[in-house]
Structure 1
Amino acid sequence: MNPRPSLASRIGVGIAVAAVLIFTLFPVYWMISSAFDAKASSGGQSLLPQEFTLDNFAFVLTDGGFGTYLRNSAIVALVTVLVSAVVCLLAAVAVARFRFKFRTTVLMMILVVQMVPLEALVIPLFLQVKSLGLLNSIIGLMVVYVALSLAFGIWMLRGFVAAVPVELEEAAYIDGASWWRMFRSILLPLVMPGLVATSIFSFITAWNEFIFAMTILGA
């Protein structure tokens, strides 16, 4: 039987938990408090709002262009998910099922790309987008986000495709199914969990990313 913790230890644990909660939740409280405080924009905000106002929300929803930014973010994220899902799935099938020259080299290049920090890609991708004439365009931003999602998506989906027994595909061919029918009825349902996971990753990448959006759209 374990001994019951002493009162001092329980108090210490309670204080530690309270400190962690305050440290974690205070920024959230400060953000909400600033949103409703009329003096927040002038630097006169206190711990508790002195003058309650909704003008900050009105500014964001009208003059701040929040609706436009939200629409653009949603469009870019959804297009990135759709394009990267299709390209990653087809590329994963190619590297997992087909034997071609430099196949191992392609896989190693995909793995190496994931090791490069995003900050190191800002200038090269900026120059590429500039050469394509897509600066200050959400199409250029979509191209960048799709490119950033491909390496992880292809590598992850390759594992899911390789895990599908080849015998299932061969059985479909024996039954007279075409490649497209086999892909649609057998391979795609089996790799759907991986496709969903990579799509979520692509969406989060496109939705949360700021550096490339600021660089390409603010050029």
Structure 2
Amino acid sequence: MSRSRLVANVVAVAAAIVTLFPIYWMVLSALKPKGEIQSLHVRPWTTAPTLENFQRVLGGENFGRYFLNSLGVALTVVVLSGVVAFLAAVAVTRFRFRFRTTVLIMFLVAQMVPVEALTIPLFFLVRDIGGAVPAVGLNTLGSLVMVHLAFSLPFGIWMMRGFVAAVPEALEEAATIDGASRSVVLWRILFPLVAPGLVATGIFSFIAAWNDFIFAKTFIISAKDQQTLPAALLVFFKPDENDWGGIMAASTLMTVPVLIFFVLVQRRLVAGLGGAVKD
């Protein structure tokens, strides 16, 4: 093995350890009894693993409801952002219209604005929209879907633009000559070819919506049955003493669906990220 290859392997292993250690410590803390968590003698292992913290979290009030709320919001955002990003990418790639470049630049600029800077303006916007459309007003899951959709679309459109541009226009022209309509060309020819890009876009949209805390805490004010998992973690933060075992157990349960989802689609994700740079 060459020296450069050895150095690269060492760096890769070190990066993997640094990345995985917080996850290991989270799971370890979730399995530790209360006495070990609060002990001043910190050890990277436990001699008495217990599932008490997980039982307390799963037996808590409305945990299943919060889980379904988070899952519903995340999956809805994935589907809507994928379809809208695909259609928008086709529009900015296949059609020439005025201010097309300006629109693309605006999508890019939208990604540069910090989420924290937009939270308060979005709160008033959602409040006003809710007066006309209650389904997307405050204290509804629709408000979370709408806001996450707005934030995921700029990235999704830029990602899908590379995939659409990589598909030869000759395929669409040949299908049109054979009598295929615009909708047939769009959904039966172009859509399957850019599927890896949709997977990559969907993963990022899913993770952002699933892990969201700021929007969930801002827009879901008093409706406890509409809360999502990240906001529900506040139950374990208490004025006198935080329940760190419960916090770590709930965080572990929140991480499992994301890891499973990522493992199932990792091959398509790699293909999607590779195709996104084509032009």
Asked if these proteins are the same fold (TM beyond 0.5), I'd say: yes
The TM-score range, normalised by the shorter chain, is: 0.7 to 0.9
Residues in 2 aligned to 1:23 and 1:98: alpha-carbon distance in whole angstroms = 43
From 99, 105, 108, the equivalent of 2:105 is 108
Q: 1:183 aligns with which of 178, 183, 186?
A: 186
What runs of 5+ residues in structure 1 fail to find an aligned partner? 4-12
**Change beyond 3 A, Cα 1:178–1:64:** same
Q: Of 119, 126, 130, which residue of structure 2 is paired with 1:129? A: 126
Residue 56 of structure 1 corresponds to which residue in structure 2?
A: 53
- Cα distance in 1 for residues equivalent to 2:212 and 2:152: 12
Q: 1:112 to 1:101 in 2, by over 3 A?
A: same
Residue in structure 1 matching 2:87, options 87, 90, 104 = 90
Answer whether contact 2:31 2:53 (CA < 8 A) is retained: yes
Q: Which residue of 1 aligns with 2:170?
A: 167
Q: What residue is the counterpart of 1:25 in the other structure?
A: 21
Tell me the percent identity.
53
2:28 aligned partner, one-letter code: I
User: After TM superposition, what 4+ stretches of structure 1 lie above 6 angstroms from structure 2?
Assistant: 48-52
Q: TM-score, normalised by structure 2?
A: 0.64
Instruction: State the TM-score, normalizing by the size of structure 1.
Output: 0.80
Offset at 1:158? 1.1
Residues 99-153 of structure 1 show CA distances to partners (whole Å, capped at 9, x for unaligned) of 2222121111111111112222211222211112211111101111111100000
Q: Is the 8 A contact 1:37 1:45 kept in 2?
A: no
AA partner of residue 145 (structure 1): H
Q: In the alignment, is residue 142 of structure 1 matched against residue 138 of structure 2?
A: no
Distance 1:82 1:131 in 2: 26
Q: Relative contact order: is structure 1 or structure 2 higher (C-alpha 8 Å, sep ≥ 6)?
A: 2
Which residue of 101, 116, 121 corresponds with 1:119?
Answer: 116
Question: Using the alignment, how far apart are the partners of 1:75 and 1:157 within structure 2?
Answer: 24
Instruction: Confirm or deny: 8 A CA contact 2:30 2:53 kept in the other structure.
Output: no
1:8 is matched with: none
Q: Is the 8 A contact 2:126 2:143 kept in 1?
A: yes
- SS of structure 2 residue aligned to 1:132: helix
Instruction: Give the conservation status (yes or no) of the 8 Å contact 1:38–1:52.
Output: no
